[in-house]
Amino acid sequence: MIESEVCILLPVLNEMDNIGRLIEGIRAALAGHEYVICVVDDGSRDGTLEFIRTAMQKPNHRIHLIQRKKTKRGSQRGSALFVAVTWALRETNCRFMVEMDGDLSHRPEELAEGLALLEAGTVDVAVASKYLPGSLVTNRPIGRLLVSRICNFAVRLLISNSLRDYSNGYRFYTRRAAECIADTHIVYASPIYLTEVMAIWISEGLRVAEFPTHYVGRNEGLSKLRMIDLAKASFAVFEVATRLHFRGFSRVERTTSSKLESTATS
């Protein structure tokens, strides 16, 4: 069992330009905390894996690597996070978990603020929100900003207007919140996982808070958005809303949480 207070859940794919600065940023922000970084790599080919393996040769590296091979088209960020959550529950005694992107869109300097909300004991989940007064979004094209706001507005109508930002994956949560994920049948491996998990937390009555963030866009042109992807996402959100408001979420035995196969290196 790995002794840690905080587990950083970090899905990556070809992040050689960012991973070093991100790991150093996390190290600086969590100085004085016991932590471990669970990196889930979906088949990087740009040197990211080699960098991580080299970093793991250093004393007190605090990194655990899970290697997967991407077999489906599109982002599999959701399934990567699910694998990381179940690993953290099984292999660490951490109190808190933090989801971050590997491209520096989420600033490590904000780790202390999110963790402070959990440590106060008044919330179970803290979300770094792009849509609160005081938040800042930079380096994101106006078209992508508009699509994000429109989609987020639609999700709020279908799920709950108690949360302003459903799409930002910079999230802080307690072990109890992580157990809610592991004990529920997760349908979506794509980024819709973020909405699905939030709906699960809402259904469980967990306390959710948001705090302002500085989100830094990374290579997010409109050309990367396909109409078929938006259509699939819309259908998925409707399906999640149906389970939240009518059918409920299916539970699974904790032992089946390992159904998403991975090979781990520590």
Cα(43)–Cα(68) distance, integer angstroms: 6
Q: Which residues contact 97 (CB under 8 A, 6 or more apart)?
A: 6, 7, 8, 9, 85, 88, 172, 173, 174, 175, 177, 178
The number of beta carbons lying within 10 Å of the beta carbon of residue 69 is: 10
> Would you say residue 129 lies in a domain?
yes
Q: Work out the angle between the directed axes of helices 19-29 and 48-55 (0-180°, nearest 10).
A: 40
Q: Tell me what the mean pLDDT of segment 54-63 comes to.
A: 94
Specify if 1 maps to a domain: no
Which sign does the torsion angle of CA 43, 45, 51, 53 carry? positive
Element (H, E) at 12: strand 6-12
Domain for residue 155, yes or no? Answer: yes
Q: What is the mean pLDDT of residues 209-220?
A: 88
The SS3 call for residue 194 is helix
**What CATH number does residue 181 fall under?**
3.90.550.10
User: What distance lies between CA 234 and its chain's CA centroid?
Assistant: 20
Taking all residues of the chain, what is their mean pLDDT, rounded to a whole number? 90
Burial class (CB in 10 A: 0-12, 13-18, 19+), 78: buried
- Residue pair 78/193 in contact (Cβ under 8 Å)? The answer is yes
Per-residue model confidence (pLDDT) at position 260: 42
Would the pLDDT of 187 be above 60? yes
Structure tokens at 186: 């997760």
- pLDDT above 90 covers a percentage of the chain that reads 78
Among 89, 67, 245, 114, CA closest to 175: 89
pLDDT at 262 over 50: no
Comparison of pLDDT for 233 and 24, the residue scoring more = 24
More confident residue, 158 or 257: 158
User: Whole-structure pTM over 0.75, yes or no?
Assistant: yes
**What's the whole-number mean pLDDT along residues 79-105?**
97
> Letter for the amino acid at 52?
I
What percentage of the chain exceeds 70 in pLDDT?
91
Cα separation, 171 vs 106, whole angstroms: 10
- Looking at residues 129-137, what average pLDDT do you find? 96
Provide the 10 A C-beta neighbour count for residue 211.
Answer: 19
State whether residue 155 is helix, strand or coil.
Answer: helix
| pLDDT value of position 247 | 96
In a domain, 183, yes or no: yes
The answer to whether the CB of 135 falls within 8 A of the CB of 214 is yes
Q: What's the pLDDT score for residue 217? A: 87
DSSP annotation of 43: -
For 54, the enclosing helix (H) or strand (E) is helix 48-55
How far apart are the C-alpha atoms of 176 and 79, rounded to whole Å? Answer: 19
- Judging by beta carbons within 10 Å of its beta carbon (0-12, 13-18, 19+), is residue 161 exposed, middle or buried? exposed
Average pLDDT over residues 19-46: 96
The whole domain housing 245 covers 6-265
Mean pLDDT of 73-79: 84
Split into its structural domains, the chain has a count of: 1
pLDDT > 80? residue 155: yes
Q: Is residue 215 part of a domain?
A: yes
Write the single-letter amino acid at 134.
G
| CA atoms of 19 and 39, how far apart (whole Å) | 10
